[in-house]
């Protein structure tokens, strides 16, 4: 029996879940799906400047797992940009953080830094 997958800790859901060319049809053949945990690795490593080790600690997973997630996320970003496909961010095996961590760019949880409230994101998660 395989080992159960570990939930990846994610600070916040993305504000926007769809990106791509304005004139592009939103059909399955013209879309790339990125998971929320892939989005979180891009945010932490490329935007916040975390190392893969720091990202792994923040997400509560191993560094090698972060490396695989990050490589897949970058491949999907490249496919969307180069081939003009719509990028959707949804799904994955993640758990929203409780807001008490010291990560997310060193200034506390991203949700608290930008004045977000947990109740709103909980509602968004139910509708996700």
> Does 48 fall in a domain?
yes
Query: What is the model's pTM?
Result: 0.75
How far is residue 40's CA from residue 2's CA, in Å, rounded to a whole number?
25
Task: Write down the H helix ranges in the chain.
Answer: 36-42, 52-59, 63-83, 110-113, 118-127
Task: Note whether residue 3 is domain-resident.
Answer: no
The domain tally of the chain equals: 1
The pLDDT of residue 30:
86
How large is the average pLDDT for residues 85-107?
Answer: 75
Give the rounded percent of residues in the chain with a pLDDT score beyond 90: 54
Residue 49 phi, psi dihedral angles, 5° rounding: 80, 20
Look at residue 97 and tell me if it is in a domain.
yes
Work out the mean pLDDT of the chain and round it to a whole number: 81
pLDDT at 25 over 90: no
Measured between alpha carbons, how far is 92 from 94 in angstroms, rounded to an integer?
6
Helix, strand, coil: what percent of the chain each, to 5? 45, 10, 40
Establish if 1 belongs to a structural domain.
no
Note the pLDDT of residue 118: 41
| Alpha carbons 16 and 88: distance in angstroms, whole number | 9
Residue 72 clears pLDDT 50, i.e. is over it: yes
Full residue range of the structural domain in which residue 119 is found: 8-127
Q: Could you tell me the pLDDT band of residue 112, with boundaries at 50, 70 and 90?
A: very low
pLDDT of 115 higher than 50:
no
CA dist 77 and 6 (Å) reads 24
């Amino acid at each position: 029996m395989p080992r159960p997958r570990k939930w990846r800790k994610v600070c916040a859901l993305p504000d926007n879940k769809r990106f791509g060319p304005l004139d592009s049809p939103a059909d399955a053949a013209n879309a790339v799906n990125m998971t929320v945990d892939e989005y979180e690795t891009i945010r932490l490593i490329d935007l916040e400047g975390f190392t893969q080790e720091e990202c792994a600690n923040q997400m509560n997973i191993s560094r090698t797992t972060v490396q695989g997630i990050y490589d897949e996320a970058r491949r999907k970003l490249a496919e969307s940009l180069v081939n003009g496909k719509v990028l959707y961010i949804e799904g994955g095996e993640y758990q929203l953080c409780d807001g008490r961590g010291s990560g997310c760019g060193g200034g506390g949880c991203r949700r608290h830094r930008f004045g977000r409230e947990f109740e709103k994101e909980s509602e968004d998660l139910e509708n996700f």
